[in-house]
Amino acid sequence: MRARLAHLAELKGDNQKAIELLRQNVGMPGETVWQRVRLGEIYFRTGSVEKAAEQYEAAQKLQPESYLVLEHLAELRAAQGKFDEATGLYQKVIACVPRGEFYQALGDVYEFMGKSADAMPWYNRARDAYLKSVGQGNAHYYHHLAGFYSDAQENPAEALRWARKDLEVRRSVYALDSLAWALYKNCEHARAVEEMTRALALGTQDAHLLFHVGMSHSRAGDLVRGREFLKQALMVNARYNSFHVHR
């Protein structure tokens, strides 16, 4: 129940309340790895990297080989600039759970490091895995494909196609954001603003969403609103430009 309430609080923009609710679960008998990771994830998204590390490391003590823990820890290490550790952790995750999102995450680390040649084979593996899965009738990776074609291997038309398919199966904050960002990549900036306005209707305080709406306003010609949203993104997470995974 607390986890659902925390998720609702997060969607409505009350990140602190979400943290307080999730903290009630940790350190209690029967606590789970997922609870620790979820709390760490919100800390990470709000720029509290050290507190996120505490939660991930506590989760690792509960279940040292959990891929859920290791992949979040890899993201955090990359954000800290500890790239060798990050890539090693992602390699370990992939050895156990060879999935498209982990291929892409490793590719993203290499790209963030400026090693595009090393990123490319992982991006290709991610794309092939996503397309194979959706070809088998799995809608789960529509969202990943929209983000992949928006940012990893840019193909604006494909990004928009998959974002629209994603929105058909789940009308969520992040599906609306994916559609808006795909529209932005297709230079449809006014429409991107419209969709981002819908995405933020609940008041969600996610720095990456705020960055998207800020960029959309700016490219649509409203520089004042664009700057306002970019400042708001920094207030939510001053480190939002550091490494992060497309989830």
pLDDT in tens, the chain (247 residues): 788 999 999 999 999 999 999 999 887 777 899 999 999 999 999 999 999 999 999 999 999 999 999 999 999 999 999 999 999 999 999 999 999 999 999 999 999 999 999 999 999 999 999 999 999 999 999 999 999 999 999 999 999 999 999 999 998 999 999 999 999 999 999 999 999 999 999 999 999 999 999 999 999 999 999 999 999 999 999 999 999 998 8
Gap between the Cα atoms of 203 and 173, Å rounded: 10
pLDDT at 1: 77
Gap between the Cα atoms of 222 and 232, Å rounded: 16
In contact, 145 and 157? CB cutoff 8 Å: no
DSSP-based three-state secondary structure for 210: helix
pLDDT at 25: 81
Gap between the Cα atoms of 201 and 88, Å rounded: 39
Q: Which of 66, 12, 7, 13 is nearest to 41 (CA)?
A: 7
Residues across the chain: 247
pTM of the full predicted structure? Answer: 0.93
Contacts of 179 (CB under 8 A, 6+ apart): 146, 160, 163, 164, 166, 167, 195
Structure tokens at 61: 């003590």
DSSP-based three-state secondary structure for 118: helix
* Architecture per CATH, 140-247: Alpha Horseshoe (1.25)
Gap between the Cα atoms of 93 and 72, Å rounded: 10
Gap between the Cα atoms of 120 and 141, Å rounded: 19
pLDDT at 88: 98
Helices (H), the chain: 2-11, 15-23, 33-45, 49-62, 67-79, 83-96, 100-112, 116-135, 142-147, 156-169, 173-185, 189-199, 207-219, 223-236
Where do the domains of the chain lie?
140-247
Q: What does the H/E/C string look like for 13-75?
A: CCHHHHHHHHHCCCCCCCCCHHHHHHHHHHHHHCCCHHHHHHHHHHHHHHCCCCHHHHHHHHH
